Amino acid sequence: MARIRKAVLIGLVLLVVAAFGVSAQAKVKAAFICQNMANESQAFSEKQFMKYGADFGLDMYTFDAKGDSQVESQLVMNCIAQQFKVIFLNPNDINAIVPSLMQAKRAGLIVGMFSSDLSPANQKYRDFYAGSNDVFAGKQAAEAFMKHFPNGAKIVEIGGQAGHDAQIKRHDGFHSVIDSSNIKVIDYKACQQWSTEQAMAIMEDDIVKYGHEIQGVFVHWDNGATGVIQAAKAADLKGLYIIGIDGNRAGYNQVLSGEQAVSISQDFVAMAKKDMELAQKVVKGQQVDPINYIPLNVIDKSTIKNFPVPQW
């Protein structure tokens, strides 16, 4: 018993020692608070910050909010306590993060939003924003449908994780455009997780219900599109016009093979670089544009050759 306890203690102490050996002296201490490292697009973004941080004179650290709004606001507090100069964050919930950002501003931190921006009323609590915004992605998807079906069509929409920021924005952006068109969304369902299997199950059930009525599918994420494609294949339903968002390897390959019509991609590399560039300027005391849109890439059969193979 005593031996075990001792071992645990020694282990923990070693861990502590190892950890502070790592912490080097800072240039400008900056932190990226990642939405959820278990989500691959977010994990990819985190890698970009780590990779290019030094180029912008930043000593980058990353934290993981684990998809939890409360953890995320705690991490902001944590960064204040650790006297970070700059924080970048991609909020799980743009409203829930505001109270902690108020504190961050009061403590004098430079706050940069990544990928999604605060609502206009709260934008005073951040310095700048770089991103392409899921609302736009949703709008782009709607426009792509309208372009492909000028005479109207019946489509279904399959949402990402219910209540998740990206799911909400993609859905809202999509509907802000599609609702005024002649394209009819005959069914909409969100998933309980970003689960390919759930997207597939919903699609299967939709196929049973609507069969060949369905002409197109808007699915909130490319990995979900994988499930939709599998469901369509199994039911031998050809010629579906499928649009997904992300532009990751799944989306890229599916567009390449013709199974998916369009993948709308956010350029996380450019987004991260832009965010850090802005931070560098603010640190130097220069004025920056508060809102910086990174253009979305609409990857389809005709444009795919212009894009490199995505790294995630």
Within 227-246, the residues that bind another protein by CB under 8 A are: 227, 230, 233-235
Q: Shortest Cβ distance from residue 16 to another protein (Å)?
A: 4
Written as one string, the DSSP assignment of 34-103 is ES-TTSHHHHHHHHHHHHHGGGGTEEEEEEE-TT-HHHHHHHHHHHHHTT-SEEEE--SSTTTTHHHHHH
180 touching another protein, by CB under 8 A: no
User: Of 193-212, which residues contact another protein (CB under 8 A)?
Assistant: 193-197, 200-202, 204-209
Please select the residue that binds another protein; options are 6, 9, 106, 295, rule is CB under 8 A: 9
User: Of 79-118, which residues contact another protein (CB under 8 A)?
Assistant: 80-83, 92-93, 95-99, 102-103
Please select the residue that binds another protein; options are 28, 35, 56, 62, rule is CB under 8 A: 62
Please select the residue that binds another protein; options are 250, 264, 296, 298, rule is CB under 8 A: 250
* Whole-angstrom distance, CA of residue 6 vs CA of residue 154: 67
Please select the residue that binds another protein; options are 64, 127, 267, 275, rule is CB under 8 A: 64
Q: Shortest Cβ distance from residue 151 to another protein (Å)?
A: 26
Please name the amino acid found at residue 143. Answer: E
Nearer to another protein, 83 or 182 (CB): 83
Nearer to another protein, 244 or 278 (CB): 244
Q: Residues in the chain, how many?
A: 312
Nearer to another protein, 125 or 292 (CB): 125
Q: How many CB atoms lie within 10 A of CB 177?
A: 17
Please name the amino acid found at residue 26. Answer: A
Please select the residue that binds another protein; options are 27, 66, 154, 175, rule is CB under 8 A: 66
- Residue range at the interface with another protein (CB under 8 A); choices 223-231, 266-274, 279-287, 290-298: 223-231
For the chain, counts of helices (H) and of strands (E): 10, 12
Nearer to another protein, 194 or 278 (CB): 194
Nearer to another protein, 222 or 278 (CB): 222
277 touching another protein, by CB under 8 A: no
* Whole-angstrom distance, CA of residue 271 vs CA of residue 268: 5
Q: Shortest Cβ distance from residue 215 to another protein (Å)?
A: 18
User: Of 19-58, which residues contact another protein (CB under 8 A)?
Assistant: 19-20, 22-23, 34, 37-40, 43-44
Contact 59, 24 (CB under 8 A): yes
Q: List Cβ neighbours of 308 (8 Å cut-off, separation of 6 or more).
A: none
The percent of the chain in helix, strand and coil, each rounded to the nearest 5, is 50, 20, 30
- Which of 33, 34, 45 minimizes the C-alpha distance to 273? 45
Q: Shortest Cβ distance from residue 180 to another protein (Å)?
A: 20
Please select the residue that binds another protein; options are 6, 51, 55, 163, rule is CB under 8 A: 163
- Characterize the bridge pairing of strands 241-246 and 262-265: parallel
